[in-house]
Amino acid sequence: MKRISELRERLRALGAKPAHEARVLRLWVQALPQTSGRQPIETFLPRALRDALPALEAELAALAVLRSLHPAEDGSARLLVDLADGQAIESVLLPPAAQGGGGLCVSTQVGCAVGCRFCMTGRDGLARQLGSAEIVAQVALARRRRAVNKVVFMGMGEPAHNLDNTLEAIDLLGTLGGIGHKNLVFSTVGDERAFERLPAGRVKPALALSLHSTDAARRAHLLPRAPRLTPAELVEAAERYARATGYPVQVQWTLLEGINDGDDEVEGLAALLAGKYAMLNLIPYNRVDGLDFRRPSWDRAAAMARALNGRGILTKLRRSAGQDVDAGCGQLRSRAPRAAGGLPSRYRADPVRPATVVAARNLV
């Protein structure tokens, strides 16, 4: 059972009506016990469903199991997560916000087929797609540790290459999951299928576009298996969706020294994004073993951001969370499978502490 649609079918086969189905799904995604809620299950749920709940909860918990937690100095943490079939993925708890909540970066695939040259995730290609329930299970797992009120689909994989599952997960998170639509961020290298389907959903997430160069040939070299849309075509499609939703498109730009940090790219960005409903995030490259890319100096990156802001382009220079534990942008990967005798020493980290249940109000 890897998809939310399969879970819904199971619940209905056990006699669940829409209200019963919503309760079970809401409590799962909110990381609360199925015995929670205003109404006792003995008088609310059908008998067949009540009897099946313990096994169902165990099956849902097995979708994403925390193998190890790697806390960073900035308050973020890399989660190494085992899937039911033995594959492993990673997600990242982002530094908590001032109001006490925080964000989570989730994966949508085991591996990635895009093969960005500066990214660890795609070096071994694509192993398989994640089901929508496996995507949501990462949120439920994280919520057992801390509050999560924002989810960014920027972990392992290209969400547009697993569109059905990603959109199904977004729909649940933006409804029963209690996450505001603008706090769900769909990240893509640019795919016409995504631009067509995102506006049709009842939950419309914010959009992040991985651009990385305004030069079509340079971008094609850096992202060898991304769709061959020009930068101008990508920005036009992304902005059209942004204006329809009211959330500016977030243009993502990994800064690579001597490659896309020059004055030519400053001019290209100033022309490409002029007047667009967009903001630019400059993200200095995070080190990946075996790759020769380097990040520019902070002074150079800051100068680029100042130049673009001076040209009227809303630009932010970002520090990737969790760089000291390989949790930054481009550093996630499917690590060694779980060994029968325990974890390899390089993966041992903080022990998994008992779950902290995050309270949710107005549950059925």
Q: Would you state the torsion angle of the CA atoms of residues 155, 130, 212, 292, taken in this order, to the nearest 10 degrees?
A: 70
Quickly tell me which residue has 């060994």 as its tokens: 339
| Rounded Cα gap, residues 144 and 141, in angstroms | 5
Catalytic residue among 90, 168, 239, 265: 90
119 included as an active-site residue: no
Question: Would the pLDDT of 351 be above 50?
Answer: no
Q: What's the predicted TM-score (pTM) here? A: 0.90
Name the residue among 165, 137, 135 with its Cα closest to residue 31. 137
329 included as an active-site residue: yes
Convert the pLDDT of each residue in 92-125 to its tens digit: 999 886 445 699 999 999 999 998 988 888 787 8
Q: Which amino acid is at 187?
A: S
Question: Would the pLDDT of 153 be above 80?
Answer: yes
Highest mean pLDDT among 36-50, 170-184, 281-295, 320-334: 170-184
Over range 74-99, report the average pLDDT: 88
Instruction: Please tell me the predicted confidence (pLDDT) of residue 343.
Output: 37
Question: Would the pLDDT of 21 be above 90?
Answer: yes
Question: Would the pLDDT of 363 be above 70?
Answer: no
SS3 assignment, position 200: helix
Number of helices and strands in the chain (H, E): 11, 12
Dihedral sign, CA of 319, 320, 324, 330? negative
Over range 126-150, report the average pLDDT: 96
Average per-residue pLDDT for the chain:
89
Convert the pLDDT of each residue in 301-337 to its tens digit: 999 999 999 999 999 999 877 776 766 677 776 665 5
Catalytic residue among 105, 112, 119, 329: 329
CB 194 within 8 A of CB 163: yes
| Rounded Cα gap, residues 337 and 340, in angstroms | 10
Question: Would the pLDDT of 166 be above 70?
Answer: yes
3-state percent breakdown (helix, strand, coil) of the chain, nearest 5: 35, 15, 45
Question: Would the pLDDT of 288 be above 90?
Answer: no
Bridge-partner residues for 152, per DSSP? Answer: 105, 185
Longest dimension (CA), the chain: 68
